[in-house]
Structure 1
Amino acid sequence: MKNDDHVHWMDQAFKDFEKDNDLSENPGFGKPLSKDLFKGDVYVQFEKTARAAGYLPEWVKIRKQIASEIETTDDFTKKKIDQLNAKVKKYNKCCPPPLQKPLFNINLIDKQLHNWL
């Protein structure tokens, strides 16, 4: 049952964006969507389209930052592990639940590093 008085927040965000920006300058504006977009798994199609457009989800950016820091760090001090854990918490908040990672533990750091590289 749909309530017409209710406006979904994403719809409202798009309307606000549309009001302030000229969407006609976007490539593909006014062109029909490919029929392939509606075949198979919609999420897989979205990922493929987003990847082709160069979109990188925030959680992927954070994961790459963490991996890069791990690769360039020689000494995992408590301070460094605390910094990494702050990023892991941020990563876990925005990534899909099955991809969430445990926080680093100074006693298990050697075993945990391979999960990020």
Structure 2
Amino acid sequence: MSDGNSMPPYNDLIGDILKSHAKEGGMENLKGQGKPLPKEYFSGDTYQHFQRIAKDAGYKPHWLKLQHEIRDELHAISRLQAENIGVDLQNRVIGLNQKIDEHNKHCPPPMLKGRVTVESIERAKEFWK
């Protein structure tokens, strides 16, 4: 029986992922390899550093990718509506609203957006620029 003072074994998930990636050769020829990190990476908040490094690496959060997809879909629906093409716009709007719901689950609170209807497509395009 164990005593109450023992700690559970330390599990470094990120470290394990990086080691696995390195074994597969994924850490070779990285951009900036062998160069010193900029001094700004060592000052300020750790979270801000993560955001800056992720942005520099081209990472986009899931909600931002969804935002771009929603914007593009709004423009596509608007074009179909303007051209009076016999497409079921209501089904496309239903799918679009599912993406909006997913976006709202992951985005920062100030970025929350409302659902759209076939009638509100043109107004919604302004909110999703």
TM-score (norm 2): 0.64
Larger radius of gyration: 2
Mapped to 1, the partners of 2:19 and 2:107 lie a distance apart of 26
Give the CA RMSD over aligned residues: 3.1
- 1:31-64 CA distance string (max 9 Å, x none): 3322211223444443333333333333222211
Give 1:105 deviation, angstroms: 4.4
Aligned pair 1:83/2:95, yes or no? yes
Mapped to 2, the partners of 1:16 and 1:86 lie a distance apart of 36
- Counterpart AA for 1:20: E
Give 1:4 deviation, angstroms: 6.7
Unpaired segments ≥5 residues, structure 2: 1-6, 82-87
- Other structure's SS at 2:63 match: helix
Give 1:112 deviation, angstroms: 6.2
Unpaired segments ≥5 residues, structure 1: none
| 1:31 corresponds to | 35
User: CA 1:31/1:4 → structure 2, altered by over 3 Å: closer, same or farther?
Assistant: farther
TM-score (norm 1): 0.69
Aligned pair 1:106/2:112, yes or no? no
Aligned pair 1:47/2:51, yes or no? yes
Mapped to 1, the partners of 2:30 and 2:118 lie a distance apart of 51
- Other structure's SS at 1:47 match: helix
